[in-house]
Amino acid sequence: MLGWCALLFSLGVLAFLDSLFNYGAIFRQINSVLFMLTSLGLLVRTTTKMRLRTFEQQAARILALEEEVFALRQQSSGNTTKITRDSPMRTSV
């Protein structure tokens, strides 16, 4: 992410220098396309990371709920075995 931000900053500096020294129309077109593609890349990366984080949070919550259900089933059956994170979830009642 730091690399993307550094690239956007350098493109911004180049655009500022272009406005001061008037490098030409070709430079402006190339700079604007690079800026647009970099911004698109940042947008895609950010949304992908947000979706992945949401998925990981949901998976952790599902695991915690499965452990709670398993513990409640063990308590109701009178068995007091230690529950670990790696213990398989029973699917039959």
| Rounded Cα–Cα distance for residues 53 and 3 (Å) | 21
Tokens found for residue 56: 């990981």
The residue ranking higher by pLDDT, 89 or 31, is 31
Question: What would the pLDDT profile of 54-81 be if each residue is shown by its tens digit?
Answer: 889 999 999 999 999 999 999 988 755 5
Model pLDDT, residue 70: 94
Closest CA to 70 of 52, 49, 90, 92: 90
Question: What would the pLDDT profile of 26-53 be if each residue is shown by its tens digit?
Answer: 778 888 888 888 888 888 888 898 888 9
| pLDDT higher than threshold 60 for residue 12 | yes
| pLDDT higher than threshold 60 for residue 91 | no
Model pLDDT, residue 80: 53
pTM comes to 0.55
